[in-house]
Structure 1
Amino acid sequence: MTEPALLQATNVRKHFGEIEVLKGINLTVRQGQVVSLIGASGSGKTTFLRCVNLLEEHDGGEILLDGDPIGYRMVGETRKRLSETKISAQRARIGMVFQQFNLFPHLTAGQNVMLGLTKVQGKSAAEAKEIAEHWLGRVGLAERRDHYPYQLSGGQQQRVAIARAVAMQPRLLLFDEVTSALDPELVAEVLGVMQALAESGMTMLLVSHEMLFVREVSHHVLFLDQGRVAQEGKPSEVFDNPKNERLRSFLGRFHGIFSR
């Protein structure tokens, strides 16, 4: 039996002024799946993630999380924006890890993870500390919980950011090029954490240029080109049998690591 869709996007469109960045994106993410978006810079990948997390407002189409429209509801033929209270509740069900770590410099690693647990979820300091220590341990930073961001490497800071997002127990976790700001030798440690989360059953929607990683962890891959889904399918289908010329050209940038 097929799992129901956790995230369902239908004909999602987004304009910035006169430029249409998303031109009708359709996408399904089911519980426990890892779905990846690949494509050249400017193809709309990050914009789509930001629409899912309500950091951008899509202009058309519909995005459903657990069957509930994100950000809007339809009243007849008119889209009505939800109340800020309902939107905040929807945001709380979606975690996001960004290219930049976005840690508070005046807080320790543990305090960064605890903040959302106490301020958003209303947990006690003792409970939040226990959860933070658990997740910092899961990302290999138990001994760094009292360190400030400036005392951590880029890879360690990104792992704190991942722990912070996962500690909130989101239904869906979004990753936006989380290794792009890291030195090459630090990339593997972050990808290792993401792979462990995938293997634990975390539902993930990610944007990445780490093609070997995408191929290994993804259940489904979508290649975006100029705001449209140009090809999608299982990783083996997308990487081994690219039917789209733009996809073949895109994969050709990766030094022939994929057989075609």
Structure 2
Amino acid sequence: MIEPALLQARDVRKTFGQIEVLKGIDLTVSQGQVVSLIGASGSGKTTFLRCINLLEEHDGGEILLDGDPVGYIMAGERRKRLSETKVSAQRARLGMVFQQFNLFPHLTAAANVMLGLTKVQGKSDAEARDIAQHWLGRVGLADRSGHYPYQLSGGQQQRVAIARAVAMQPRLLLFDEVTSALDPELVAEVLSVMQGLAESGMTMLLVSHEMMFVRDVSHHVVFLDQGKVAQAGPPAEIFGNPQNDRLKSFLGRFHGLFGRG
């Protein structure tokens, strides 16, 4: 029996008013894979991530996590929204790191990581503290666990946000342009943490404009253009031999870093 994909999107659609932002997205992410979404601003990348994490409700198609429909089930020809209890349980299997750090300013780095462990997973303070210290150490912040967000650089705050997400042991970790709010000199430290997670086997779906990083870390790259998948494949194919004219144009913005096909 073939195991189902960890994440599978089928013909996912999303409309805001009269604007169709997602026009039928198909995507599969397998256990241990790093899949990257690239494309110009407004192509639908972030909206798609938010639909996976139920921060936006997709209007059509189906998203499956471990074979289970996310957010909705089909009742005959109609979609039926799952109960909030089931939606919350699905969200708990997904981790997401945003452009903004979203740390609680009145909590230390350790307390920010501990919060979900105690409030959502019901762990004791002692167990949550041990887990928080472990992951803060993994992201290079073992000596900053007692610091408040205002005492940390932007890169350090984003690393705390990553530790907070990973500490919950999600099945899939979503990254939405997590370096876009950082000063250039801080980008490398966050990408290094993400590289380490990828090498450890974490299943990741990420949106990024850091093309060299995407090329080096991804198993599969998906180029979105105007709400549709214009080309998808392994990094060597996407960056070394792009077949889609829009993809060629998009990569051309990166000053000749990649070969042109």
TM-score range, shorter chain: over 0.9
2:47 is aligned to 47
1:211 is aligned to 211
Name the aligned partner's letter for residue 188 of structure 1: A
Uncovered stretches (5+) of structure 2, i.e. residues with no partner: none
- For the residue of structure 2 that corresponds to 1:256, the secondary structure is coil
Tell me how far apart the structure 2 counterparts of residues 79 and 205 of structure 1 sit (CA, whole Å): 26
Deviations 1:83-123, CA, capped at 9 Å, x for gaps: 00000000000000000000000000000000000000000
Tell me how far apart the structure 2 counterparts of residues 247 and 167 of structure 1 sit (CA, whole Å): 36
Uncovered stretches (5+) of structure 1, i.e. residues with no partner: none
- Does residue 1:233 correspond to 2:233, yes or no? yes
Q: TM-score normalised to the size of structure 2?
A: 0.99
Deviations 1:137-182, CA, capped at 9 Å, x for gaps: 0000000000000000000000000000000000000000000000
1:250 is aligned to 250
Tell me how far apart the structure 1 counterparts of residues 171 and 77 of structure 2 sit (CA, whole Å): 29
Name the aligned partner's letter for residue 21 of structure 2: V
2:168 is aligned to 168
- For the residue of structure 2 that corresponds to 1:22, the secondary structure is strand
Q: Any residues of structure 2 matched to 1:12-161 within 5 Å, and which?
A: 12-161=12-161
Q: TM-score normalised to the size of structure 1?
A: 0.99
Deviation at 1:259, TM superposition (A): 1.0
Structure 1 residue ranges, 4+ long, deviating more than 2 angstroms after superposition: 1-4
Deviation at 1:2, TM superposition (A): 7.3
Superposition RMSD on alpha carbons, in Å?
A: 0.9
Give identity over the alignment, percent. Answer: 85
Q: 1:2 to 1:82 in 2, by over 3 A?
A: closer
2:182 is aligned to 182
Deviation at 1:4, TM superposition (A): 3.4
Tell me how far apart the structure 2 counterparts of residues 136 and 215 of structure 1 sit (CA, whole Å): 27
Deviation at 1:124, TM superposition (A): 0.3
Tell me how far apart the structure 1 counterparts of residues 254 and 2 of structure 2 sit (CA, whole Å): 34
Kept after mapping to 2: 8 A contact 1:3/1:30? no
Kept after mapping to 2: 8 A contact 1:98/1:176? yes
Tell me how far apart the structure 2 counterparts of residues 34 and 193 of structure 1 sit (CA, whole Å): 14
